Amino acid sequence: MKILVIGGGGREHALVWAVRQSPRVQEVVCAPGNGGIAALARCVPVNQKDLADLVRVAIAEQPDLTIIGPEVPLSLGLVDELTRRGMRVFGPTQRASMLETSKAFAKEFMQRHRLPTAHYAVCHSAKELQEALTHFHTPIVVKADGLAAGKGVVICQSKDEAQEIVKQMFSGKLLGEIQSKVILEEFLTGEEISWLVIADGAHVLPLVAAQDHKRIGEGDTGLNTGGMGAYSTDTLIAPEMRDWLMHHIAQPVIDGMASEGAPFTGVLYCGLMMTARGPMLLEFNTRFGDPETEAILPRLRDGELLDVMEAAVDGHLDQVQLATRNESSVTIIAASKGYPGSVETGHAITGLEEASQEEGVTIFHSGTALSKSPNEGKLVTAGGRVLAVTAIADTLQSACDHAYAALSKIHFDGIYYRRDIAHRALKQNKENQ
């Protein structure tokens, strides 16, 4: 088989790595890919924000299956365009991806289908906001409706602050793009869990759960980032809880989308808050998360991902079972100094070969490139998040030890990583001993 993967980050490196393990795969093409993906796939340039360009690449390559990593191509309707041309694609249609692209749609859908979620109000104007605010206690969570690359959620400590943030969202000052609606939400507390399921429009297959670390600083402090690390271990969700989530969240979402004429095929990422009142849905993503994917995929058996994706595309996911490995995994992001603000790029990366000799370690590349002359072909930094160093082992502690041992061998100017990834679970494991 020939596979085309769209995207060029750590998530796509993990996807390429996982499908490569299938004996049925002869060739993988990645558009645009990155410096690390280039070792496993032929990388071809593409503008990921341009639907016509994305379609052009797929037509030129004629893959047996296309896998879409990021949200923007989904929001543009790439799945619809390729499916219309008779191509097989793993991912939701433009309408089904509204579960991610419009937070107002997602919240209203959750309410229509009685899914557990925070109390909310959708506001289209300053007048509606005034009225809605009277029904909320502080803190209040303010969310932009559309895709905002992780910047569209602000937790406000006062109603005045909420008013100011909403004003800036409506005017376009906060996100660069004018929002026609914003969502106010009740503030929830609890453990956050990323729970991903695969769906074929009717059937649902859960993957192992993960937890990510969004803040730049140790102890979960400082600015929000795309994610500084993640881990996956069986204690995150007990089997009874997983059954509950399947019956009360995952299956009702898939049934609900089908009943509304927008069947969902692909991977549905459920962002959950485990509150004292029970699990609550914070958000949906309609694609794999990054860096959770780098922690989750190594826990699948070799080649399993492709089997599951094909079953989803072909509509027989009910005939597939996952034989997940019961080891634990951890992914630690090595970032460039200054991230999530502006960073320098082009710094040489060394020590990767030595680091990857560490037991159970796989290094996925997030922002790397192969340098042009005079040092042609040398690996250099090319973004804020540079590497996703993943380790899998019998215990979470051992996975962390191996990942950090690998990281100690990697060098580039300004390397920064958090030293406390998985700290909550490790502390809990110690307390339970």
**Chain contacts with ligand AMP (rule: CB under 6 A):** 118, 141, 143, 153, 185-188, 192, 271, 282-283
Three-state SS at 342 = coil
Cα 358 from Cα 404, distance rounded (Å):
10
| Residue 142 vs 317, nearer CB to ligand AMP | 142
Least distance (Å) between residue 272 CB and ligand AMP = 10
Place of tokens 């070799």: 302
Place of tokens 């049934």: 255
> Between the CA atoms of 331, 337, 339 and 342, what dihedral angle is there, to the nearest 10 degrees?
-150
| Residue 1 vs 153, nearer CB to ligand AMP | 153
| Residue 35 vs 289, nearer CB to ligand AMP | 289
Q: Which of 265, 288, 411 is nearest to 347 (CA)?
A: 411
| Residue 193 vs 403, nearer CB to ligand AMP | 193
Structure tokens at 213: 């670390």
Q: Within a 10 A sphere around the Cβ of 112, how many other Cβ atoms?
A: 11
DSSP string, 148-182: -TT-SEEEESSHHHHHHHHHHHHHTTTTSS--S-E
Cα 263 from Cα 253, distance rounded (Å):
10
Least distance (Å) between residue 260 CB and ligand AMP = 21
Structure tokens at 25: 């795969």
Q: Which of 311, 310, 291 is nearest to 225 (CA)?
A: 291
| Residue 66 vs 331, nearer CB to ligand AMP | 331
| Residue 54 vs 237, nearer CB to ligand AMP | 237
Cα 184 from Cα 136, distance rounded (Å):
8
Q: Which of 229, 232, 288, 234 is nearest to 407 (CA)?
A: 229
What residues contact residue 259 under an 8 Å CB cut-off, 6+ apart?
Answer: none
Task: Classify the phi-psi angles of 95: left when phi > 0, otherwise alpha if psi is within -120 to 50, otherwise beta.
Answer: alpha
| Residue 271 vs 414, nearer CB to ligand AMP | 271
Cβ neighbourhood burial of 221 (10 Å; 0-12, 13-18, 19+): exposed
| Residue 88 vs 215, nearer CB to ligand AMP | 215
Cα 12 from Cα 2, distance rounded (Å):
16
Least distance (Å) between residue 186 CB and ligand AMP = 6
